Amino acid sequence: MNSQRMNQNVNQSLQIFIDQYNNFCERFKAELKKKNIEKNQQDDFYYLQTETGLIKYTWVNIKNTHNIELLKKINELRRIFVDGLIKIIEETKQGFCTRKRDPYSYCSVEALGSTALTSNYDVNISSFIAASDIVNLFNSYFFLFWNDTSGEIFDTNLYGNSFFIATFQDESLNSKYNSVQSSSEKTVYYLPPTGITLEFQKQFLAMQTRWLVIKSFLYQNDNRNTSNQTSKIYDNIRRVAIKVIKKLSGRQNNSQNNSQKFLVEYQTMKMTNNSQLPPNQYRNRVNLKYYECLKKSDELRTIYLQSPDLAGLLQLIDSISFSNFYGNETYFCIGTIYHVLGYVQNLAQFFMYPEYFIQSMIENFLDIFRDLEHFGEIPAFFKSSKYIFRVYDAIERYYALVGVQYKTNKKILFANMLTKYKINKNSVSFNYNLIRNIYQSQNSISNDNFLIIYQQIFADIEKTIQHYLENPT
């Protein structure tokens, strides 16, 4: 009888959700029509009518118009649809979360990071047992309306719990975790818990750092036009990351900590479009894989929170990075997330190990190479500027944390200047002699040799890691 009543409640909640969703979609279609955006019934995609003709509605296509007024209108649409769909899910979520909740009843939805006009608009779900369900529900019904993913349409992604811990109803449970006041004056709880041993600290940091090696294989595999020079950069990234892993594991000659081992691990995880699905369908398939991994991570989180032990904690932390492997534009490492959210985007001043900044400088350097097929084009160089800034911010903060004087150099100032590069690139004149002088390049900077700059950035990273390897932390 109880089971029947539960199923009945779920069905009623689902029907309420569907009714609210359908009403919301009808209202939103009217908003789209006002902005000259309508669905093409032949291919089921939305198109924008511009002065020069129809363009397929994607976030990239809109940004490439370099029309700030249009971007403002589309940004408004993005907030209306994303926030509206999330609100409907929040209002009906109790019916979808049928597992036992007490004392794990908290659930919140919050936009983290930048919400600037041309930035992505990402949303974090914080919940003990329902995060994966909410993410999946959002992705499924977003695709139903747009026939594509939120990343493609709005540069928006919903992320699960990540390395954060939702608030317990029982305050005595909250006290076991690191906490910090956020910029919005909320208390943020996060992994790992307080009081972990030095041995565990090194173990989990080594496991996290291996994700940098895996990510290097991911990007190298995705970018088919990788040159010999860029292949050497990938090799060098793996080399320094593995040195960090070996220091943490205390096994300098351990043959298990080599790139071949991590290549095999990557190959077991990678997804390929073997069935030749259309791009939108394949993106949706990857979203479903992310949901499956997120759900497993939620299950491990519930087990750990109910019966905490170090083995379970290691498994939980690693499962979060595993799910991020299938996320859209996600950082893999705990250190990178805490550095960027906490110190670059000023969410909160998280407790930081020196290794966290090491992870961030390497992972942000890797993210410069995400779109290597555009390598050598000036717009791609400017697009990567935020990662250049984050690399140097991590380097500076590493030295400050370990008590070494490190004078702010021209490179971080230059990277910061690049982040302010305007949408309308034609209105900005840029002095390439400045770039040449900052990076001490003997060659004139042109479209073809930005690789020289990336090599210089890596040299700065390697110098910092060498300091880390040679000194106790």
CA distances from 154 to 61, 345, 442, 468 (A): 11, 20, 41, 40
Q: What is the pLDDT of residue 128?
A: 59
How far is it, in rounded angstroms, from Cα 206 to Cα 238?
A: 14
Q: What is the pLDDT of residue 461?
A: 94
Q: Which residues are within 8 A (CB) of 156 and not within 5 positions of it... i.e. 6 or more apart?
A: 78, 82, 120, 121, 122, 123, 150
Tokens of 185: 């004056």
Residue 343 three-state SS? helix
DSSP for 80-146 reads: HHHHHHHHHHHHHHHHH--S--TT---EEEEE-S---TTS---EEEEESSSHHHHHHHHHHHHHHHH
Q: What is the mean pLDDT of each run of 10 residues along the chain (473 residues)?
A: 53 82 96 93 93 90 84 90 88 53 50 62 73 88 96 90 74 75 81 90 96 93 71 91 93 61 89 84 94 91 87 95 92 96 90 97 91 52 76 93 79 58 40 48 48 82 95 80
How far is it, in rounded angstroms, from Cα 36 to Cα 57?
A: 11
How far is it, in rounded angstroms, from Cα 292 to Cα 155?
A: 22
Cβ pair 75, 117 in contact under 8 A: yes
Q: What is the pLDDT of residue 340?
A: 94
How far is it, in rounded angstroms, from Cα 183 to Cα 341?
A: 11
Q: What is the pLDDT of residue 5?
A: 53
Query: Would you tell me how many other CB atoms lie within 10 Å of the CB of residue 171?
Result: 8
How far is it, in rounded angstroms, from Cα 60 to Cα 106?
A: 36
How far is it, in rounded angstroms, from Cα 389 to Cα 216?
A: 20
- What predicted TM-score, i.e. pTM, was given to this entire model? 0.85
First to last CA, the chain: 60
Please, what is the angle between helix 259-269 and helix 198-222, to 10°? 70
Q: Which residues pair with 127 in a beta bridge?
A: 107
Which residue blocks in 307-373 are alpha helix, DSSP H?
Answer: 310-325, 334-339, 354-368
For 112, what's the count of Cα atoms within 13 Å in the CB-facing half-sphere?
Answer: 27
Q: What is the pLDDT of residue 160?
A: 82
